[in-house]
């Protein structure tokens, strides 16, 4: 390995690396041993805490899978609604007219600055007060989706903007040269290419959305995957075991999506058919908060 920090190791460095490995292994083993012994003391490693996840199918069919379904449902609905809204806001922010750009920019900056939990709480109270037609069973889902949509359309707006700006200038120039209007350039030339460029960023924003649905499970009464912990640990008194299993399910789903995002990003960069323009997965966190773009706005 030749990085900016380290040269290819020689005999001395190799010996030193072995010492580091040994020291690290000892520290890691000590930490693991300490955690496991504390857990064993409190009977958290007993077989009856963990076996229900293997032997009792009802844990999965009654709690975990319906919970996961609710999590995915909330995330999917939020994404589907936020996408067109975000696209509109993103294009609005690129407008040549200051009276469009200004207000849209303010809306985007406003919703990016507020914690998504507060937007969900606001959504919940809003439905209680103004839309009583929504049955109280469905209110958590509505509130969570509302909060997610408000926040994520602002983030997606930034992704769309970054996607359009990532395209080479020549695309706009060429469209102008053959006599296209601004709207035509946007609809026929820029947006179709930006959609491809944005794909990795959008997939990784979906991961953020799925993680945020857990807020609904803990604070707004959504019966999602995280909320399944309450019911499972009430039945089997295995809080830690059920939290670990639930965490692993979240990690499996999100890790699959993250890997898919990086894979598409790699493909787009190497692609010979397109301009190679792409909004990187790593940029998403920056677009979501915006110290980078704050000066540009």
DSSP 138: T
**Residue 146 token pair:** 């509302």
* Candidate residues 215, 232, 245, 278; the one interacting with another protein per rule CB under 8 A: 215
- Angle, helices 228-236/239-270, rounded to nearest 10 degrees: 150
Cα(139)–Cα(173) distance, integer angstroms: 49
Sign of torsion, CA 248 250 253 254?
A: negative
CB of 1 to another protein, least distance (A): 6
The answer to whether 218 contacts another protein (rule: CB under 8 A) is: yes
Instruction: Please give the size of the binding site for another protein, defined by CB under 8 A.
Output: 67
Contact predicate 261/60, CB 8 Å: no
Q: Restricting to residues 233-252, which ones interact with another protein according to CB under 8 A?
A: 233, 239-240, 243, 246-247, 250-251
Q: Kindly indicate which of the ranges 116-124, 155-163, 168-176, 183-191 contains the residues binding another protein, using the contact rule CB under 8 A.
A: 116-124
CA 205 from centre of chain: 4
Q: Residues 223, 138: contact at Cβ < 8 Å?
A: no
Taking 3-state DSSP, the helix, strand and coil percentages for the chain, each rounded to the nearest 5, stand at 80, 0, 20
The contact pattern for another protein, residues 54-93, with x = CB under 8 A and - = no contact, is: ----------------------------------------
Binding window for another protein (CB under 8 A); candidates: 9-17, 91-99, 155-163, 183-191: 9-17
Binding stretches for another protein (CB under 8 A): 1-7, 9, 13, 17, 20-21, 24-25, 28, 38-39, 42, 44, 109-110, 113-118, 121-122, 125-126, 128-129, 207, 210-215, 217-219, 226, 229, 233, 239-240, 243, 246-247, 250-251, 254-255, 258, 282, 285-286, 288-295
């Amino acid at each position: 390995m030749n990085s900016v920090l380290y040269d290819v190791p020689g005999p001395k460095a190799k010996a030193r690396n072995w010492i580091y490995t040994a020291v690290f292994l000892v520290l890691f083993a000590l930490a693991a041993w300490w955690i496991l012994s504390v857990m064993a003391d409190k009977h958290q490693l007993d077989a009856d805490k963990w076996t229900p996840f293997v032997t009792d199918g009802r844990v999965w069919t009654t709690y975990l899978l319906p919970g996961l379904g609710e999590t995915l449902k909330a995330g999917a609905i939020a994404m589907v609604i936020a996408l067109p809204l975000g696209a509109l806001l993103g294009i609005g922010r690129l407008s040549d007219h200051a009276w469009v750009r200004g207000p849209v920019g303010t809306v985007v900056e406003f919703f990016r600055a507020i914690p998504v939990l507060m937007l969900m709480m606001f959504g919940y109270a809003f439905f209680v007060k103004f839309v009583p037609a929504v049955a109280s069973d469905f209110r958590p889902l509505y509130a969570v989706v509302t909060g997610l949509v408000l926040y994520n359309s602002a983030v997606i707006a930034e992704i769309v903007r970054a996607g359009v700006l990532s395209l080479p200038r020549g695309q706009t120039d060429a469209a102008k040269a053959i006599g296209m209007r601004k709207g035509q350039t946007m609809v026929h030339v820029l947006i179709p290419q930006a959609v491809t460029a944005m794909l990795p960023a959008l997939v990784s924003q979906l991961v953020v959305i799925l993680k945020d649905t857990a807020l609904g499970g803990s604070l707004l009464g959504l019966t999602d995957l995280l909320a399944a912990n309450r019911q499972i640990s009430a039945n089997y008194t295995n809080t830690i075991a059920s939290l670990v299993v639930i965490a692993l399910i979240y990690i499996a789903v999100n890790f699959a999506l993250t890997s898919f995002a990086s894979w598409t990003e790699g493909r787009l960069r190497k692609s010979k058919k397109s301009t190679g323009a792409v909004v990187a997965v790593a940029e998403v966190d920056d677009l979501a908060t915006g110290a980078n773009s704050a000066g540009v706005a």
